[in-house]
Amino acid sequence: MIEFHKKWITNSCLIIKENYQKINMLDQEIGDGDHGTTILRGLEEAVSHFSTKNEFNNSISFMNEISKLMRVSMGGASGILMTIFFKELGNLNLNDLYNSTLTIFSNTITKIQTRGKVKFGDKSFLDIFIPIHQDLIENNFIDLDKIIKKIDESLEYTKSLEARVGRAKFLDSKGVGVIDPGAYSTSIILKEFFKEINNEKNN
Ligand SMILES: [Mg+2]
């Protein structure tokens, strides 16, 4: 059970590590320039925690610990908002992947909207979560190829959006023409999540 979460976090950390400079560069254009470094720091903190400690009761308490560590090490709004999904993922039920994933997405979205005062189309990582949640509902099934394609499309779409949250909203350009860095890191984390779900289904 916890193995799923460990594999997902480890893989996400690897891919973020390969891309964090690119994410920083996007953030240099529309934010304060450090989002790649920040998300990498949070994930590395998580990986080092479960690499050195072996006793965890269940996935709920495990993901509670992980999300708290990440929140503190990341700091700021991204620390608070991006760890919501990690905490919710403690509720993943490997015997009911589809329904538990739907619930996790719906709870994550509600909490991001409430705590972050952010809406769909504001140019944030919510612009990845919401279309994927819609796709899951419509397809009634987790189809990896379709989801990866949808994540890529949703990410690309954030380029065209005017920022209504974060520093980018103060720019003359409103960030138009630049992919949202938080959406970029989220796209990686969600792709790794669905890849792991797919591995689980084929086991
Ligand atoms: Mg920052």
Cβ pair 82, 125 in contact under 8 A: yes
32 C-alpha vs ligand 1 centroid, how far in Å?
Answer: 5
178 C-alpha vs ligand 1 centroid, how far in Å?
Answer: 16
Could you tell me the residue ranges of all domains in the chain? 2-201
76 C-alpha vs ligand 1 centroid, how far in Å?
Answer: 8
181 C-alpha vs ligand 1 centroid, how far in Å?
Answer: 10
pLDDT of residue 99: 96
36 C-alpha vs ligand 1 centroid, how far in Å?
Answer: 9
Separation of alpha carbons 36 and 3, rounded Å: 25
- SS3 state at 59: helix
Q: Residues lining ligand 1 (ion), CB within 5 A? A: 32, 34
For tokens 């934010």, the residue is 31
183 C-alpha vs ligand 1 centroid, how far in Å?
Answer: 14
Residues 6+ apart with CB under 8 A from 140: 98
Q: Could you say which architecture CATH assigns to the domain 2-201?
A: Alpha Horseshoe (1.25)
Residues 6+ apart with CB under 8 A from 69: 42, 45, 46, 49
Cβ pair 60, 90 in contact under 8 A: yes
Q: Supply the pTM of this predicted model.
A: 0.96
pLDDT of residue 55: 80
Separation of alpha carbons 28 and 7, rounded Å: 30
35 C-alpha vs ligand 1 centroid, how far in Å?
Answer: 5
38 C-alpha vs ligand 1 centroid, how far in Å?
Answer: 7
pLDDT of residue 3: 93
Stretches in the chain below the pLDDT threshold 50? none
Separation of alpha carbons 140 and 148, rounded Å: 16
pLDDT of residue 9: 98
68 C-alpha vs ligand 1 centroid, how far in Å?
Answer: 18
pLDDT of residue 202: 83
